[in-house]
């Protein structure tokens, strides 16, 4: 069983109360008011708690709203979450804002917020030229592909730098992946290496991504690999394996448009964007998709922005309202 962390706390008011949990399974500790005070409508009020705490090194405290106050009375924290750093030993003040139409009275002992404590580690920031793709990077292959093959299930779609234009985008990169994988002797050995190592290089990550695409775009498994994966390239000569590559191309939205164009025409919204410095060169595929959609008379919104494939969560601020408006109509 883990030993509890000891937190020093001082009661600096007769009404101060040590934070507590109602249930053993709770994560947050209830913080109580040490004063009677009125929260004016649409105003921010600092509420005294009558306590001061001394957090140990590598421990951070986060002050969060209570759900009851926020949902029932529209009262929350103006700076949620509030951060308490180690070394701060002043009185804990809670800045409450009353979004309601009426004033609200706080009494001594009322639970007004909750404290969550988190262990942290010091870090060293390393400057790099590019970052590997993560699940927070962009993507949009699924939205386009599913809209093409299952039009009855979709009313509107948005694609952020989706995989498209495989011949242009991926074909020439297969050689680099093959070179990386060959250093381990086989696909199986390479995948085993990626599962056992603690950190992948950018080249290893990209080769692993190619293996993942091979598993997705080529449904024909091979007995030569326990993972059933084969690449559309000869690992020795570097020649493209035409039969396998055709399996990949059968999933390329660019090649499906002619057959399934009416499916996209039935959409109320087709939003497509891509960064003009996409590290996987998907901006070239996106441009080809835009050209093909235009030539087929398929209405769509296409935007190209200054950026890469990663760290573009702000693009959702553009697509999500458009999707919401489309679904409401």
pLDDT computed for residue 24 by the predictor:
82
In a domain, 256, yes or no: yes
Asked whether the beta carbons of 321 and 271 are under 8 A apart, the reply is no
Claim to verify: residue 164 and residue 115 sit in the same structural domain: no
Asked whether the beta carbons of 45 and 37 are under 8 A apart, the reply is yes
Claim to verify: residue 75 and residue 145 sit in the same structural domain: no
In a domain, 135, yes or no: no
Claim to verify: residue 53 and residue 183 sit in the same structural domain: no
Q: How far apart are CA 10 and CA 284, in angstroms?
A: 62
Asked whether the beta carbons of 72 and 31 are under 8 A apart, the reply is no
pLDDT computed for residue 133 by the predictor:
52
Q: What are phi and psi of 323, to 5 degrees?
A: -65, -45
In a domain, 298, yes or no: yes
Claim to verify: residue 177 and residue 313 sit in the same structural domain: yes
Claim to verify: residue 90 and residue 168 sit in the same structural domain: no
Q: What are phi and psi of 53, to 5 degrees?
A: -125, 155
Mapping DSSP onto H, E and C, the string for 255-304 reads HHHHHHHHHHHCCCEEEEEEECCCCCCHHHHHHHHHHHHHHCCCCCEEEE
* Model confidence pLDDT, tens digit, residues 57-79: 888 899 998 888 888 899 999 88
- Residues of the chain whose pLDDT is less than 70? 1-3, 130-140, 221-223, 329
In a domain, 125, yes or no: no
Domain hosting 252: range is 141-328
In a domain, 124, yes or no: no
pLDDT computed for residue 136 by the predictor:
41
Claim to verify: residue 83 and residue 146 sit in the same structural domain: no
Both tokens of 3, joined, read: 């030993």
Asked whether the beta carbons of 257 and 264 are under 8 A apart, the reply is yes
Claim to verify: residue 234 and residue 203 sit in the same structural domain: yes
Number of separate domains in the chain: 2
Claim to verify: residue 24 and residue 88 sit in the same structural domain: yes
* Model confidence pLDDT, tens digit, residues 259-297: 999 989 989 999 999 999 998 899 999 999 999 999 999
Asked whether the beta carbons of 63 and 84 are under 8 A apart, the reply is yes
Which CATH number goes with the domain that contains 39? 2.70.40.10
Claim to verify: residue 190 and residue 110 sit in the same structural domain: no
Domain boundary among 119, 151, 181: 119
């Amino acid at each position: 069983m883990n030993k509890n962390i000891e937190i020093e706390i001082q009661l600096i008011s007769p009404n101060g109360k040590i934070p507590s949990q109602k249930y053993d399974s709770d994560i947050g500790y209830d913080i109580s008011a040490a004063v009677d005070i009125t929260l004016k409508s649409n105003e921010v009020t600092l509420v005294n708690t009558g306590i001061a705490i001394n957090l140990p090194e590598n421990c951070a405290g986060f002050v969060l709203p209570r759900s009851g106050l926020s949902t029932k009375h529209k009262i929350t924290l103006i700076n949620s979450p509030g951060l308490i750093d180690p070394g701060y030993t002043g009185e804990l003040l809670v800045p409450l804002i009353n979004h309601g139409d009426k004033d609200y009275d706080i009494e001594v002992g009322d639970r007004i917020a909750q404290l969550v404590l988190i262990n942290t580690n010091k870090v060293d920031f390393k400057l790099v030229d590019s970052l590997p793709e993560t699940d927070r990077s962009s993507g949009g292959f699924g939205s386009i592909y599913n809209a093409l093959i299952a039009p009855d299930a979709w009313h509107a779609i948005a694609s952020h730098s989706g995989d498209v234009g495989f011949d242009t985008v991926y074909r020439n990169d297969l050689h680099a992946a093959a070179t990386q994988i060959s250093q381990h002797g086989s696909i199986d050995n390479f995948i085993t290496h990626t599962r056992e190592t603690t950190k992948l290089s950018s080249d290893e990550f990209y080769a692993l991504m190619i293996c993942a695409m091979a598993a997705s775009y080529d449904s024909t498994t091979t007995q030569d690999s326990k993972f059933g994966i084969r690449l559309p390239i000869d690992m020795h000569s570097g020649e493209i394996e035409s039969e396998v590559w055709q399996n990949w191309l059968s999933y390329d939205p660019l090649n499906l448009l002619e057959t399934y164009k009416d499916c996209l025409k039935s959409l109320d919204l087709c939003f497509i964007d891509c960064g003009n410095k996409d590290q996987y060169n998907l901006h070239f595929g996106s441009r080809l998709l835009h050209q093909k959609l235009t030539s087929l008379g398929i209405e769509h919104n296409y935007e190209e922005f200054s950026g890469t494939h990663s760290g573009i969560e702000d693009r959702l601020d553009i697509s999500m309202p458009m999707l919401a408006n489309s679904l409401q109509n």
